[in-house]
Chain A
Amino acid sequence: MSEISTESTKKFNIDTVENAAATPGVELPWAELGLKQNEFDDVVKVLGRRPTAAELAMYSVMWSEHCSYKSSKNHLSQFGKKVTEEMKKDMLVGIGENAGVTNLGDGWAVTFKIESHNSPSMIEPYQGAATGIGGIVRDIISMGARPVAVMDPLRFGAIDHPDTARVMHGAVAGIGGYGNSLGLPNIGGEMVFDAVYQGNPLVNALAVGVMRHEDIRLANASGKGNKVVLFGARTGGDGIGGASILSSESFDDTKPSKRPAVQVGDPFAEKVLIECCLELFKGSLVEGIQDLGAAGISCATSELASNGDGGMEVELTSVLLRDPSLTPGEILMSESQERMMAVVSPANVAAFEAVMDKWAVEYSWLGEVTDTGRLIIKWDGAVIVDVDPRTVAHDGPVYDRPYARPDWQDALQADVFNGSTADAGRPTTVDELKAAVLELIASPNMCSKDWITNQYDRYVGGNTAMAFPDDAGVIRVDEETGLGVALATDANGRYTFLDPYHGAQLALAEAYRNVATSGAIPMAVSDCLNFGSPEDPDVMWQLAEAIRGLSDACMVLGIPVTGGNVSLYNQTGSTPIHPTPVVAVLGKFDDVARRTPSGWAEDGQAIYLLGTTADDMDGSEWANLRGHLGGLPPAVDLERERELGQILINASRDGMIDSAHDLSEGGLAAALVESALRFNTGARVALDEVAARDGVDTFTLLFSETQGRAIVAVPRSEEVRFNDMCTARRFPVSRIGVVDAAGGALDLQGLFSAPLEELREAHEGTLPKYFG
């Protein structure tokens, strides 16, 4: 280990606790650090004196919106309250830890979480997106798990806006460059283009990990005399105040560039850190562990100490630095990546060091756990922080922000698509319908995402049973038994803008449906709530409604929220993004060999449409293509979703279906084309009968986004059994076609036949056309 220069410790005029007590009148830059007057006053009240510069740094980052959830906390509590005993039975660790843990059976547990890295990705797309992956993966390691896959839901501005290419290229390359270097398959995500995200792209990242029950680790520092160690990358000047300055304010052209607040990632260091941590867990060498993400050492020390049973005392000059000129406050706030903090019993110190040396990971012992109940941080022996760690980590301000239904909401909901000027010239002839299908599947949001997903490694690890473009990503957990998990993320900002309560439920319903479509049993939810400024009552209402809707829907579907993240202030000037609650659902397979792919493969299989179609054009992709956004989103029927899910899961388990694809954005038209292109296998489809049954015209049947629907391919030998099951459950089902491998076309009988090559050219041409 390298020596810390004692020279560097001398050159600061250190603001000690003693000095703070003696000089109450000193002006402190609390406003520059993002604190409000009332919050600074609270700090003074909590401490009974003015904070030291170092304490101020800690409180400013830990009491930021990003770290403290001060605007959303009051509402988020519903996720913990609206939970039945039944929903809790598989939850091993709930909300509040780095990530929730769910029981998979056979002694296995799974942990997953989705987080935002929106603001850094706007400023510096490559590093912002890369470190988003890095951070969420460290959350998963902190639970004692081996990370096994990542996903990334992305939302960018208009596809033809000059700045979109900058953000898109950078973010995708960053996710690939970092994620591919970790050996974690990227198994899915989302890609949406909408002008509302022009100044505030959404880069969310999900990671999932697995572990044996006995390996679950929590972030707490217990046991007096246990040693506190910081290991991994050195601490540098990157990302200082990222959580407070960057993620908790709106962007504004008048302020200086925030680039220095973006962290810079080193994926190689992270990969080594993963292996190193897994070796520590294997040897049971750590008592508690915490990753360093937002708020860096401030967060790790205060959270570890407050979750433990005593206190903690650390010497800050022991921190290994990249830049020796950093002040104590900067060291406490730095968000340098690829660092972990652990609590190690004295007996394990030598073994811990041997693991570090094997992987050539740098580490430094900072201090130890005490029984004083205080977090003491020293600089060269002088006390610069002396706080109750709970006041930093947990007792931050909580705001009951005013919120009210926007006065424009009624007019928005009254502005329906049907009969609007945007609806003039609705396709009716055969030629118009074919042109409409081609336009839809080539449109920015419905086109093939291969340009993106082909830049991600989906195979590494050898356990990827399904990945994008299948409806859900599927990962095998146990190679002996085939036990595995499925994951899907979904959100529809337009639906949520039209009706935040139901829009959030629709996001959950779609993710749930996608997991069930793959054949997995949905078990748990993680959410990333991307909204505008909570100080705007309109936005606050959207957030409150979305949380209420989501928590209500979780109760009905019987799956708990186990963790997640809130990202606020996603707005440019006074214009917020569409409220975008991204919902991730995790499901379980007893044997992933039973998973159902989303494309047709076997000639002659019968194609069935499950569910009924109503006129749900408001908020649809078609209306979006015509420049219309108004009305009400499709109706939510969670009981229907549950029934559909059970049919898809049972059919998968009993071998009654060989392919299944859910209907969502783009409706039946998109689902038919995607099912055909997946394995380059066409079909003959007749829609008259089902259109007559549902009382809708052909256009509506193809483009409506009614929920609770899926198309499945059933082997001839299973048709009777499949029909009987649907009939017994009184679920609407209709045979709409036959897989036709030789035809090489999607033949909509009585309408048009589109050669697969023509469809593929339209579907796959869009992203390369814009992004090269």
Chain B
Amino acid sequence: MTETPLIGGAVQAPVDTRLAGARIGVVTFPGTLDDRDASRAVRLSGATAVDLWHADTVLADVDAVIIPGGFSYGDYLRAGAISRFAPLMAKIIDAANSDAKLPVLGICNGFQILTEAHLLPGSMIKNDHLKFLCRDQVLRVENNTTAWTNAYAAGQDITVVLKNQDGQYIADEKTLDALEAEGRVAFRYVGHNPNGSRRDIAGISNAAGNVVGLMPHPEHAVETGYGPAHTGTDGLGFFNSVLNTLLGDK
């Protein structure tokens, strides 16, 4: 029998010591903004965050990669258009397409970079209302079999932060039909389409399910007191999912 702790908050869940062995890289480009946030989310999930620099030419033995949000190179040309040529991106593209199927998550600007890098289809244009929009957004998990969504239930609604200027997902009808048919629509906006995205699509995956991109920010909903409505932690599932994948639990 264990002793009752004096202070409720001090009790900790048993730590899975295997988690810290998982190395998850977070890429910084000039103009990246949410890199520290992505690293914090990785740490809160129990894994080890590894800083990656866009000009690096090696992947530093990471087990997964997150391309965080921001305005890389100012997004003056087209969001993600320059970043996708970074030396490190070539390594990430190779690893994502290799047999090892490196898990890659692109958040916001990261999603835009993944579409520019052709790891994911389609593109993002300016929000239909033409303004930057920051809000707490409900998403539906449409596919819970990818490397980044397997900790969620299919059809589960989660609330995370949305904040972007160029968030309107577009693709031709054929591509959209194929995404739907192959179950590659990972997330859809619920209640309110905040940017005019085709078919309410908030995030998609590649065919193998190891590469996922979405416009909203799960890394801003991982810690009580700092997420949606001061309380939301629905975003933690992304980081738990990739640990499930890496540790072979799912």
Residues of A within 8 A of B (CB): 173, 176-177, 180-183, 266-269, 271-272, 275, 359-360, 453-466, 476, 479, 592-593, 597, 679
Interface residues of B in 160-176 (CB under 8 A from A): 161, 163, 165
Cα A463 to Cα B37 in complex, Å, equals 9
Q: Is the CB of B225 within 8 A of A268?
A: no
Q: Is the CB of B33 within 8 A of A173?
A: no
Q: Is the CB of B71 within 8 A of A272?
A: no
How far, in Å, is A360 (CB) from chain B's closest CB?
7
Cα A764 to Cα B213 in complex, Å, equals 33
How far, in Å, is B48 (CB) from chain A's closest CB?
17
Which residue on A lies nearest to B70, using beta carbons? Answer: A183
Give the residues in chain A near B230, CB-CB below 8 Å. Answer: 465-466, 597
Given contacts A268-B73, A268-B76, A454-B133, contact A462 B33 (CB under 8 A): no
**Chain B 210-250 near chain A by CB (<8 Å), digits 1 or 0:** 00000001011001011101100000000000000000000
Give the residues in chain A near B36, CB-CB below 8 Å. Answer: 461-462
Given contacts A181-B74, A679-B229, contact A359 B134 (CB under 8 A): no
Which residue on A lies nearest to B38, using beta carbons? Answer: A462
Give the residues in chain B near A461, CB-CB below 8 Å. Answer: 36-37
Q: B31 within 8 Å of A by Cβ? A: yes
Interface residues of B in 40-64 (CB under 8 A from A): 40
Give the residues in chain A near B116, CB-CB below 8 Å. Answer: none
Which residue on A lies nearest to B223, using beta carbons? Answer: A462
Q: Is the CB of A457 within 8 A of B163?
A: yes
Cα A448 to Cα B199 in complex, Å, equals 30
Q: B132 within 8 Å of A by Cβ? A: yes
Give the residues in chain B near A459, CB-CB below 8 Å. Answer: 134, 161, 163, 217, 220, 226-227
Give the residues in chain B near A592, CB-CB below 8 Å. Answer: 225
Given contacts A266-B74, A272-B31, A593-B225, contact A462 B220 (CB under 8 A): yes
Give the residues in chain B near A182, CB-CB below 8 Å. Answer: 33
* Count of residues in B whose CB is under 8 Å from the partner chain: 30
Give the residues in chain B near A453, CB-CB below 8 Å. Answer: 134
Q: Is the CB of A177 within 8 A of B74?
A: no
Partner of A454, one of B30, B70, B135: B135
Partner of B134, one of A457, A462, A479: A457
The 10 closest A-B pairs by CB, nearest first: A268-B74, A183-B33, A462-B37, A459-B220, A181-B71, A457-B163, A455-B132, A176-B132, A459-B161, A272-B30
Partner of A181, one of B31, B226, B229: B31
How far, in Å, is A308 (CB) from chain B's closest CB?
32
Interface residues of B in 12-42 (CB under 8 A from A): 30-31, 33-34, 36-37, 40
Q: B118 within 8 Å of A by Cβ? A: no
Cα A173 to Cα B126 in complex, Å, equals 14
Give the residues in chain B near A593, CB-CB below 8 Å. Answer: 225
Give the residues in chain A near B73, CB-CB below 8 Å. Answer: 268
Interface contacts beyond A271-B31, A459-B227: sample of 16 additional A-B pairs, CB < 8 Å, sorted by A: A180-B71, A181-B71, A183-B34, A268-B30, A268-B31, A268-B74, A457-B134, A457-B163, A460-B34, A460-B69, A460-B220, A461-B37, A462-B37, A462-B40, A466-B230, A476-B226
Q: B91 within 8 Å of A by Cβ? A: no
Give the residues in chain B near A462, CB-CB below 8 Å. Answer: 36-37, 40, 219-220, 223, 226
Give the residues in chain B near A177, CB-CB below 8 Å. Answer: 132
Give the residues in chain B near A458, CB-CB below 8 Å. Answer: 134
Which residue on A lies nearest to B32, using beta carbons? Answer: A183
Give the residues in chain B near A173, CB-CB below 8 Å. Answer: 131
Give the residues in chain A near B225, CB-CB below 8 Å. Answer: 465, 592-593
Q: Is the CB of A267 within 8 A of B229?
A: no
Cα A360 to Cα B161 in complex, Å, equals 32
Cα A479 to Cα B44 in complex, Å, equals 12
Q: Is the CB of A454 within 8 A of B226?
A: no
Q: Is the CB of A456 within 8 A of B134?
A: yes
How far, in Å, is A582 (CB) from chain B's closest CB?
24
Interface residues of B in 172-208 (CB under 8 A from A): none
How far, in Å, is B57 (CB) from chain A's closest CB?
15
In this complex, which of A269, A272, A461, A592 has the most chain B Cβ atoms within 10 angstroms of its Cβ?
A: A461
How far, in Å, is A185 (CB) from chain B's closest CB?
9
Q: Is the CB of B226 within 8 A of A465?
A: yes
